[in-house]
Amino acid sequence: MPGPEALRRREYYGFPGNHFWHVLPEIFKAPPPSNYREKIRLLKEHRVAVWDVAKSCTRRGASDSTMRDVMPNDISRLIRRYPNLRTIFVNGKKAEKLFNQYFGKTIKIPVYYLPSTSPAHASMPYKKKLEKWARIKPCLVNRNPWC
């Protein structure tokens, strides 16, 4: 779920301290995007879709630990609408928990956890996050059996 700054900017991963928009260009050996339009172009060029597990919730601030009254997005419908979607990666433990809670037994494509790109997940160094996130590239470039 986007935090207050991302909501204010109307941009996924809009908080400047989030590593998401640093990790993806590094993985794809692309120049860092300088604006949101370039960020969206980077996603499209590499066949990455971004969508929240939660459609809405109440919470104080940006901390996922304060999320209450979660209403999930209809991910099953998304998969039916886009049948070429082959793999889902969840960004962080809260997203993984919510995904499993609402869709764990119904989604039949591979789902993988990735460490949160949030600055709140400071216990994992950036380089380690990058290493783990690099696992998405083979799934996007070819039909890697891991995916």
Each residue's pLDDT tens digit, 14-72:
999 899 999 999 999 999 999 999 999 999 999 999 999 999 989 888 888 888 999 99
Q: Which residues are CB-neighbours of 87 under 8 A, at least 6 positions away? A: 109, 110, 111, 112, 136, 139, 147
Give domain status of residue 22, yes or no.
yes
Give domain status of residue 70, yes or no.
yes
pLDDT at 2 over 90: no
Quote the domain boundaries for residue 39. 4-57+65-141
Give domain status of residue 146, yes or no.
no
CB contact at 8 A, 91 and 74: no
Each residue's pLDDT tens digit, 6-18:
888 999 999 998 9
Tell me what percent of the residues of the chain surpass a pLDDT of 70: 96
User: Which pLDDT belongs to residue 75?
Assistant: 94
User: Which pLDDT belongs to residue 144?
Assistant: 62
Q: Which residues are CB-neighbours of 130 under 8 A, at least 6 positions away? A: 23, 26, 27
Give domain status of residue 53, yes or no.
yes
CATH number at residue 32: 3.40.470.10
Give domain status of residue 147, yes or no.
no
**Dihedral (Cα; 78, 84, 90, 91), 10-degree rounding:** -100
Q: Please state whether the predicted TM-score (pTM) of the whole model is above 0.85.
A: yes
User: Which pLDDT belongs to residue 18?
Assistant: 93
Q: Indicate the number of domains in the chain.
A: 1
Each residue's pLDDT tens digit, 89-144:
999 999 999 999 999 889 989 999 999 999 888 889 999 999 999 989 888 776 66
- Which three-class secondary structure string do you get for 84-95? CCCCEEEECHHH
